[in-house]
Amino acid sequence: MRLSGVISFVIASLCLAGCSSTSGIDALDMQKPSNETTSSVVRPSAPIASVPVARANAARRRVEVPSADDTARPFGLAEEETVAFPAPELPDSVEPPIEEAALVSPPKLLSRAAPAMLAGPVTRYGFRDAKPINFGRSSPRHLAVHGVDVSRWQGDVNWEKLRAQGANFAYIKATDGGDHLDPMFMKNWRGAQAAGLKRGAYHFFYWCRTAGEQADWFIRNVPKVDGALPPVIDVEWNGDSSCQRRPSREKVLEKMQVFMDKLERHYGQRPIIYTSPDFYRDNLQGAFPDYPFWLRAVARHPSKVYPDRKWLFWQYSGSGLSHGVTGRIDLNVFHGDERQWRAWAGGGGRQMMADAD
């Protein structure tokens, strides 16, 4: 009984020793990283580099140890106290930011117009009309700058008297078709300038001649001078001439474009289109939106006769009366005030496109 008890005691002691040894091994294994991962934690594919001891020490706060004399200083006023942090390491692909310089547009150079191009003082309206029309609130008299257009049918014009009556500009007939020159053109051209009027020339377009030869004829006879108003193409049906041809709308627009392009290249000014209500209705509605128009409307305001069309000049009468002219004369008005007139006329007719109202 005693021997068996001893044997039992020895066996129990050995079992207890085995259990204690196993627990120690398991405790050591717990220090190893687990091979398990979760969806929110990803094991790095390469080992993480350890931070050198020197760099770690540099990140620590270094405070000078005060000497015995420093103990008398108030708290927080050490003679030297520095904190050093390591400079951040950027990837090679990242460059330090560069501050962009502000872009400043160069100032625009403003050129003063040559004296020959400046418009003179505006003379107030003083014309009469053999067949006056009451335009109501849209009367042309509400506009400031009036003028005339002339041809050989006005005879010998006294330009000084015409200027005093209120003519600030004059469009002078120069050519018809491809071979006709108005016999009074050069005399009127010089006389208008001498009297101080702004002057321009117009061409009466024939539908029985090519556009190119008509443009060449105009260029041959109308001088290219500083201060002249833009050239005008007068497009109407040639009812009173030997040419009774009426081309299609497409052909009309094509011929006009050829003529105007040639004049613009030569004079450096975009031509003005003069027209009448019937020709406009047949050919020009919606055409040439980038060209200035001079519209004939002697009974109603242009906005009623040519809806939605912007215009620069309005011919409001074919029965005007004035000192300096024998018989009747066409009266016209510029669509703008005095300031706009000086800007447009002084700039060679390049600076304005009037509204339709």
In this predicted structure, the answer to whether residue 302 has a pLDDT above a threshold of 60 is: yes
Per-residue pLDDT, 258 = 98
**DSSP 8-class letter at 66:** P
In whole angstroms, what is the distance from residue 104 CA to residue 179 CA?
Answer: 55
The arithmetic mean of pLDDT across residues 86-115, rounded, is: 35
Q: Tell me, yes or no, whether 303 lies in a domain.
A: yes
Residue 161's CATH number: 3.20.20.80
Residue 99 is among the residues annotated as catalytic for this protein: no
For helices 249-267 and 211-221, give the axis angle rounded to 10 degrees: 30
Whether the per-residue pLDDT at 265 is higher than 60: the answer is: yes
Q: Residue 275: count other Cβ atoms within 10 Å of its Cβ.
A: 21
pLDDT of residue 243: 86
Residue 151 lies in a domain: yes
Confidence at 244, pLDDT banded by 50, 70, 90: confident
Q: Which residues contact 171 (CB under 8 A, 6 or more apart)?
A: 147, 148, 149, 150, 199, 200, 201, 202, 229, 232, 294, 332
Whether the per-residue pLDDT at 62 is higher than 50: the answer is no
Sign of CA dihedral 214, 220, 223, 224: positive
Provide mean pLDDT across the span 144-171. 97
Give the whole-angstrom CA distance, residue 311 versus residue 293: 5
Range of lowest pLDDT (67-81, 122-136, 198-212, 215-229): 67-81
* The one catalytic residue among 64, 89, 99, 236: 236
Adjacent-strand bridge partners of 41? 38
Secondary structure (DSSP) of 273-329:
EEE-HHHIIIIITT--TTS-EEEE-SSS-HHHHSTT---SEEEEEEEEE-TT-SS-E
Q: For residue 149, give its domain range.
A: 144-346
**pLDDT reported for residue 309:** 97
Lowest mean pLDDT segment, chosen from 16-25, 178-187, 297-306, 333-342: 16-25
161 occurs within a structural domain: yes
pLDDT at position 101, please?
A: 33
pLDDT tens per residue across span 161-175:
999 999 999 999 999
pLDDT tier for residue 350 given thresholds of 50, 70 and 90: low
Pairing of strands 313-321, 128-129: antiparallel
Residue 112 lies in a domain: no
pLDDT band at 354, cuts 50/70/90?
low
The pLDDT assigned to 283 comes to: 98
Task: Give residue 355's pLDDT.
Answer: 52
Question: Given this model, what pLDDT does residue 118 score?
Answer: 55
Calculate mean pLDDT across residues 215-219: 98
Whether 18 maps to a domain, the answer reads no
What residue has token string 């109407």?
Answer: 236
28-56 pLDDT per residue, tens: 333 433 333 333 333 344 443 444 444 44
pLDDT-based confidence at residue 234 (cuts at 50, 70, 90): very high
Asked whether residue 297 is domain-assigned, the answer is yes
Q: Decide if 82 is inside a domain.
A: no
pLDDT for res 108: 31
Q: Is residue 68 part of a domain?
A: no
Summary mean pLDDT of the chain: 76
Q: What's this model's pTM, rounded to 2 decimal places?
A: 0.67
Number of domains comprising the chain: 1
The neighbour count for residue 348, using CB atoms within 10 Å, is 18
